[in-house]
Amino acid sequence: MSNNRKFTRRQTLKLIGFGAAGAALAACAAPPSAAPAAPAESKPAEQPAAGGGKLEIFSWWTSGGEVEALEALYKLYREKYPNVEIINAALAGGAGQGGNMKAVLETRMIGGDPPDSFQVHLGQELIGSHVKAGRMEELSELYASEGWNDVFPKGLIELASYEGKPYSVPVNIHRSNVMWYNVKHLADAGMEKPPATWDEWFAYAEKLKAKGIGALAVAGADPNFSAHVFENILVATLGPDKYLGLFNGQTKWDDAGVKEAMGLLLKTHEYAQDGYQSVAWGDINEVMTSGKASTMIMGDWTHGLFLSAGFKDYHWAPAPNTNGVFVALSDSFGLPKGAKNRENVINWLKLCGSREGQDAFNPIKGSIPARTDPDLSKYDDYLKETIEAFKTNTIVGSIQHGAAAPQGFVNDYDTVVSTLLASKDVEAAARQLVDAANAAGLSG
């Protein structure tokens, strides 16, 4: 199990490459040039006049917190550009069925009918799926004119960049290794503090079992949910350095720590809430707010969802054995080549990257701003704590949320976790992950 290491700011920046991207992106860390944006071969001949036309924004933000946060950005945009009609093309499903959104997006991108802008995770999801395919405009000029090279952390700019040029604008940073817990359940069980290790968590889970309460909220109808839990257990059993090694061949996917994590994952699911197999990711919050389960290992969009639902009986702690590590991901927006309303998109990106936009969006979304100069008075205790943690913790990238590994690997990883939960065959799952890593070129 990892210990509770503290890292200096310098170390944090060194590790900020969010995993797989780290080494490769460090090599292209040269400041983006101020060259004009690459000409979009497929740019439509006629662009709507400034201040008019449409703006189609594609995302999977349809849940509480997400909708309101996006709406806060739209409101600011409408105030600035009242003649632009915003088309909110959001597809329901969250990160689980984000797969659906991604499939539709892929079809549209390949078919030359891109949305004007779309939600995309910084890191491998952006670069591997869209930039390398030559479907995005580079944004060096915008970064320079908006001063973003000075206000986004260098590591984040690297994650947005390919061959030294940025291709997307980060709107936030989410932490994915959070354990959300029901404070009343904890107090009723006579616990003074939340479980900090998996050993403590299982002891708590036994107490809850005796009361008929699930220890872990699980959306079993959507296996990607458990894959999210699994990456957090991987960080716990491997520690941050070995976890990062999974993406460059330094750590093998059949390492003893990976197998230990699989065993723990299987054991956690013995303590899931009743009927968990039929719960979809989009409905998981009700499991927590109704008290059917006591803890949930999930990213901090949960904070936004709980706020939106008016749920108050909760608090948070790092996922067990991950104290001192910040598993990160970042939502961003970019400019696809051939966007029908290019000028409107550029204004959208300016807003997404602005202090005003980030301070309107993030306090509702449950994420911290990508910018380093927020108006802290707008952020609540959870977010202030998380802004601090981001400065001091070791940063690693999330697999499930696109930062650490390419989408092809994420798909395989999800399938393996799903198969593991059914077969309980740890050896087979480890072999499958080794194969998936080889196929994705993660083996060094």
Interface positions with ligand GAL (CB under 6 A) = 60-61, 66, 94-95, 98, 121, 174, 301, 329, 331, 401
- C-beta of 305 vs 430, nearer to ligand GAL: 305
Q: Give me the residue label for tokens 């400034």.
A: 50
Q: Distance between CA 435 and CA 412 in Å, rounded?
A: 9
Closer residue to ligand GAL in complex, CB, 98/363: 98
Nearer to ligand GAL, 292 or 401 (CB): 401
CB 22 within 8 A of CB 403: no
- Rounded to whole angstroms, how far apart are CA atoms 308 and 353? 24
β-strand pairing of 293-298 with 214-216: parallel
Minimum separation from the CB atom of position 304 to ligand GAL (A): 9
Q: Looking at beta carbons only, is 159 or 430 nearer to ligand GAL?
A: 159
Please, what's the b/e burial string for 345-361 (b: 16 or more CB within 10 A of its CB; e: otherwise)? bbbbbbbbbbeebbbbb
Q: Which two tokens stand for residue 349?
A: 């990106």
Question: Which tokens hold the place of 420?
Answer: 């593991």
Distance of alpha carbon 176 from alpha carbon 429, whole angstroms: 23
Closest distance to ligand GAL from the beta carbon of 364 (Å): 12
* Identity of the residue, 94 or 166, whose beta carbon is nearer to ligand GAL in the bound complex: 94
Nearest distance from C-beta of residue 49 to ligand GAL, angstroms: 33
In angstroms, give the least distance from the CB of 385 to ligand GAL: 19
123/320 with CB nearer ligand GAL: 123
Residue 238: closest CA among 226, 225, 250: 250
> How near is the Cβ of 50 to ligand GAL at its closest, in Å?
30
Nearer to ligand GAL (CB atom), residue 238 or residue 284: 284
Burial-class residue 111 by CB neighbours within 10 Å (0-12, 13-18, 19+): exposed
Closest approach, Cβ 96 to ligand GAL, in A, equals 7
334/357 Cα distance (integer angstroms): 15
Least CB distance to ligand GAL at residue 301 (A):
4
